[in-house]
A and B are shown apart, each in its own frame.
Chain A
Amino acid sequence: MNILSLLIFIPLLFALAIIVLPSSMRAGFKYITLLATLVQLGISIWMYLHFQTGGHFGGVNNEAQFQFVQKIPWIDLSLGNMGKMQVDYFVGIDGISITLVLMTSLVMVIAALASWEIKSNLKGFFSLFLLLNTAVIGVFCALDFFLFYIFYELMLLPLYFLIGMWGGARREYAAIKFFLYTLFGSVFMLLVMVGLYLSVKDPATGSHTFNIIQMMNPANYDQGSVFSVLAHKTILGMPARTVGFVVLFIAFAIKVPIVPLHTWLPDAHVEAPTPVSIILAGILLKVGGYGIIRICLGIFPEIASSGAFWLGLLGVISIIYGALNALAQRDLKRLIAYSSVSHMGFVLLGIASQTPEGISGALMQMVSHGFLSAMLFFLVGVVYNRVHDRDIYNFRGLGTLMPKYTTFVMIAFFASLGIPGLSAFIGEAFSLLGAFESSSVNGYLPYWMAICGSVGIILSAAYFLWTLQRMFFGTLSLKGGDVWKTALTDLDSREILALMPLALMTLVLGVMPSLVFDKINDSVLALVHFLK
């Protein structure tokens, strides 16, 4: 059994166990789920430790350099005069995915711990949770576009129900909005996927393939096919490859989310229950960033170069617009949701620079934001579970009432606003460095973009510090009076157990970013080399 397939399908096995077990054992479901995520974490740590680095393990566009690969023929079909269609079960990881896989596994453990708050219909919740888990890990590992698409879509239905059944007051609206937005992006992605596979032939077998790595090689495209690099075909009067890139980019940009396609995010994050918010912010947003790097950049590198300015511009707009919106929020969860928009903007800016620093920064920022946003949403959940309120102005002076809680909040806030020594600083600094360097190295991004990005850091300092001041400093004053005062107990040991690893990761990655950079470096260099 391939270790990577094990990693992907272990949650599914546990989900089946939960479905089969009688409902009378529902109290044990959360432990089963936790066990599944812990096993998964163990496997991914093992993989991280055994992940080879060096020039021969760059991956990206070189199939032989991927690690933990499993490739099994899946669908093999003759299409008559169109040739043959070939779909493989093809999974493998390189430096771009390894850190994201590890981050995902850890965040899943935290989300499982956060699921303690779920009280109704446990069987449904935990089986959907584990199904979602399989889907997200699968997305990061799939190297066949068909497989990737299946995992990508497989995330939708569990999430719809997770938000819709266990969410807040406006959960129906939030769930359907999320579903429709993502599906809108992905049906058009399906069209491009079909076009790509009909354009690409596997040189070894001569059949049309969904293999993403084969799609990166211009030589594999049929002459005269729609997406051929040399043929310069047009779709509706626009260059076909540009259309393909834009469609795929929109699909992933919805996930990231990038302004102006972000409007589903505040609703979904706010209405979702805490564990789902953690998964959404911590992991699902990275699927978007990962997709842009692996698929948009990988398959359409020349369009990514010529359109780098626009990518950077969208990144900067997301940074500034998200931060300004966060400043204006009263709802703590909404504030954090918008801060996600802002922080993910750095990812796009870093990617757009197409320099080693920028792309490393983008990957680092994704990992760091995965931990930080999980932590932030968990912290919001703590207050909300106790008093069912999260309006910033309804709390004051929490620092004296809940000292441990406040400590974690301060770590999370300071890390998020980019204090040196904590992880987000590294990610943002490298993204900005890449953006600065870009104008001299490849001329994609002008200087002012990097400067505007830095303004985003200042804005994030403003909203985080202001929130800290409003909610945690000063004399104790709560809207709910004494009832709230007794309800707002400090963190219990489960919550500390969940927050501690996240806080530690933030600190460790801030001090030793090499933990990430060492693993991703070869792949980033290979990618940058490939993009040139």
Chain B
Amino acid sequence: MHDLLPFLPGQLNQVLDGITLLIPELYLSGLFLVILVTDILFGKNSGWLCRILACAGLVVVLIKDLQQFGLVVNNGFPFFNEMLLLHRTSVTFKALIDIFSIILLLYFEWDDELRSHTKKLSGLYAIAIAAILGLHLMAMSINLLSIYLSIEMVSIASYLMVAYHTENKLSSEAGLKYVLFGAASSAVMLYGISLLYGFTGSLNLLTGNMLPGLLHTNAMAVSLAFALVFVGVGFKLSFVPMHFWVPDIYQGAPTPVSAFLSTVPKIATFCLLINFFIPFLYYPKWDMHDFKLALSAAGIVTMVAGNFAAVLQNNVKRMLAYSSIGHTGFALMALAAFNDAGKTALSFYLVAYSLASIGTWMLATYFADAAKAEDMTSYKGLGFKYPLAGVLFVILLISLTGIPLTAGFNGKLVVFSAAYSAYQQSHYIWTLLLMITGAVTTVVSLFYYIKIPLNLFLRKTERSAGFASPNKYLLASVAIITILVIYLGFFPDILLKNL
């Protein structure tokens, strides 16, 4: 104990210095407590208040995020004993997470199924804020311990969100499956981390003995340990073969929660992966070959599995779930390029994907509320009944497919560009295969995306009763999202310049 005393002031100073870099997260923690207390004080019917608090609070957090841009112009700041790393990419990704979270939190209330539940929504807002805090930490983690803790934090919040309303069998099944699968994969990840710790005696990726130690360890064992770690990451990112939970859970969970799970955790996880690879990329003796191979292979398999499985689906939510797997695979292509352009491309692609994806989930809610339509076949002829929603759906799906004048197309273009330039330098065959798979699966994706316009507009329905008029705000926000998607289709440079 006495030996440690001289170090204490230094340690404390480090913590105090670090706190200045952690302001958005401190706000988030405060916000979480405020909402929790509001929920307890005002009871079940405080949903509207919690919603206002949560959204307003997130706007403040977003502003604090944006202020951090000034701090991290070109350099990164490791803090808390190199547990967390604040640099430009993590600030960008945090800001993206906050923007999409605000949209998603507004959206919770608009889902009939979720709103009409007896439990009410105030608790959900508290959980969501906790999840967002976890996502922020994920975006900054640079130590295996903080990586594990932040992933767990997000996971636990997600379990609660998925199982938030469990009145039907499908939903409870989804909740249970998610917990079991999540628990198993985090256990596996922890085992991997413990192996890495055993090899090197360090958890710190940035400095210390981690990388030199790994170079002196049996390559096979190192690969195994990394594979185990990636199981945990893959669970959050849902790349093949850690994707089995996705369709069931997205289908069973409340639609806004599925929208949440399919977008923001992916953004955070990609940021985590970027952080994870940075030390290896800049360590001169480390050969990135294996990582490239693993990422490329995972990308190819994920694109193929996600897109081909989506073709077979009839339930709209399930189809969107598989398509989100396919998009993960495509985004892995940008990551596998391992260049600056790839990083920008990845952020842009994730923005384009998240916008369109949230929009389509909202429309799934819209049609479910309007006409109890959950299967493709029950969408028949609805485009004539709800023309605006139908047209918006078509545009968003076009963006997800990647056809020009939408954000999705420009996303594909920049990702292909990044991969191409990587290929031009290295002539690495897997990069080329990634691009070819990306092109082929784009065509495949059209095949299932087009089923929705097909049913909306090309087929007629005999049904004449049972139509409700759903929430106008929902449709309005989809319209705004669609306008954004088209705007980014015309002028991608406005966003790309700032990523």
Contact = CB atoms under 8 A, between A and B. Distances in A.
**Do A and B originate from a single complex?**
yes
Contacts of A81: 339-341, 421
Interface string B462-499: 00000000000000000000000000000111001100
Contact of B497 (A78, A171, A172, A179): A78
Given A191-B439, A194-B413, A194-B416, A179 B339 contact: no
24 contacts: A77-B496, A79-B341, A79-B421, A80-B340, A80-B341, A81-B339, A82-B339, A150-B404, A154-B404, A156-B403, A160-B450, A161-B458, A172-B459, A180-B443, A180-B447, A183-B442, A191-B420, A194-B413, A194-B416, A197-B417, A198-B421, A198-B424, A225-B424, A233-B427
For the complex of A and B, the 6 pairs showing the least CB-CB separation, nearest first, are A80-B340, A150-B404, A187-B439, A164-B458, A153-B404, A194-B416
Contacts of B435: 191
Contact of A79 (B404, B417, B427): B417
Contact of B404 (A149, A194, A236): A149
B420 A190 contact: no
B432 interface: yes
A149 B413 CA distance: 12
B119 to A, nearest CB: 42
A159 interface: no
A195 B412 CA distance: 14
B417 A85 contact: yes
Given A75-B492, A154-B405, A175-B458, A195 B420 contact: yes
Contact of A194 (B339, B417, B459): B417
Interface in B393-422: 394, 398, 402-405, 409, 412-413, 416-418, 420-421
B421 A184 contact: no
A496 interface: no
Nearest to B496: A77
A235 interface: yes
Contacts of A183: 403, 442-443, 446
Interface in A223-254: 224-226, 233, 235-236
Interface residues of B, number: 43
Given A154-B404, A191-B439, A198-B424, A179 B446 contact: yes
Contacts of A225: 424
A198 B420 CA distance: 8
Given A149-B404, A235-B432, A164 B454 contact: yes
Nearest to B444: A180
Contacts of A525: none
A184 B404 contact: no
Interface string B20-45: 00000000000000000000000000
Contact of A172 (B398, B418, B454): B454
Interface string A139-182: 00000000001100110110011001100000110011001100
B457 interface: yes
A77 B493 contact: yes
B313 to A, nearest CB: 17
A438 B384 CA distance: 56
Contacts of A171: 458
Interface string A70-92: 00000111111110010000000
A188 interface: yes
B148 interface: no
Contacts of A121: 384
A207 B310 CA distance: 40
B344 interface: yes
A190 B412 contact: yes
Contact of B457 (A79, A156, A164, A233): A164
B100 interface: no
A233 B413 CA distance: 22
Contacts of A164: 454, 457-458
A184 B446 CA distance: 10
A76 B344 CA distance: 15
Nearest to A149: B404
Interface centre among A76, A77, A187 (most CB of B within 10 A): A187
B423 interface: yes
A156 B453 CA distance: 14
Contacts of B423: 226
A161 B457 CA distance: 8
A183 B457 CA distance: 20
Given A191-B439, A226-B424, A236-B432, A176 B454 contact: yes
A177 B384 CA distance: 24
B443 A165 contact: no
Contacts of B420: 191, 194-195, 198, 226
Given A187-B439, A198-B421, 18 more contacts: A77-B493, A79-B421, A80-B344, A81-B341, A82-B418, A121-B384, A150-B405, A157-B394, A165-B458, A179-B446, A180-B443, A180-B446, A180-B447, A183-B443, A187-B440, A187-B443, A198-B417, A236-B432
Contacts of B493: 75-77
Contacts of B447: 176, 180
Contacts of B497: 77-78
A82 B453 CA distance: 38
Contact of A82 (B405, B417, B450): B417
